[in-house]
Copies of this chain bind each other. A is one copy, B any other.
Amino acid sequence: MNDTMSLVDPPAGSRKRDAEATRAAILEAAKAQFALLGYDCTVLRDIAREAGVDVALVKRYFGGKEALFLAALKASFGTDDVRGWDRATFPHEVATVLAGSPHIDEARTHRFQFLLRAATSPTTAPLLNVLVQDRLLGPIREWLGGAGAGARARILAATYIGFLVERLIRGAPLLGREREEYLTRVTAIFTALITEGDEPT
A186 at the interface (CB under 8 A from B): yes
Number of A interface residues in the complex (CB < 8 A): 54
Cβ contact within 8 Å between B185 and A170: no
Query: Is B154 in contact with A161, judged by CB distance below 8 angstroms?
Result: no
The answer, yes or no, to whether A21 is at the interface (CB within 8 Å) is no
Contact of A155 among B169, B177, B186 (CB under 8 A): B186
Partner of A162, one of B37, B161, B169: B161
Pair A157/B166 contact, Cβ less than 8 Å: yes
By the criterion CB–CB under 8 Å, are A165 and B119 in contact?
A: yes
Q: Which residues of B contact A148 (CB under 8 A)?
A: 177-178, 181, 185
Partner among B132, B165, B193 whose Cβ is within 8 Å of the Cβ of A120: B165
Q: Mark A153-173, 1 if CB is under 8 A from B, else 0.
A: 011011111111110111100
Select one of B37, B147, B165, B169 contacting A129, CB under 8 A.
B169
Contact between chains at A168 and B40 (CB < 8 Å)? no
Q: Decide yes or no whether A116 CB sits under 8 A from chain B.
A: yes
How many chain copies does the complex carry?
2
Take A121-B41, A193-B185 as given contacts and tell me if A158 and B162 are in contact as well, using a CB distance cutoff of 8 Å: yes
B residues near A115, Cβ cutoff 8 Å: 169
Considering residues A41, A155, A186, A193, which has the most beta carbons from chain B within 10 angstroms of its beta carbon? A155
Q: Is the CB of B151 within 8 A of A185?
A: yes
Q: A167 → chain B, closest Cβ, in Å?
A: 8
A169 to B132, CA, bound (A): 8
Cβ distance A172 to chain B, nearest Cβ, rounded Å: 9
Residue among B122, B168, B179 making CB contact with A125, cutoff 8 Å: B168
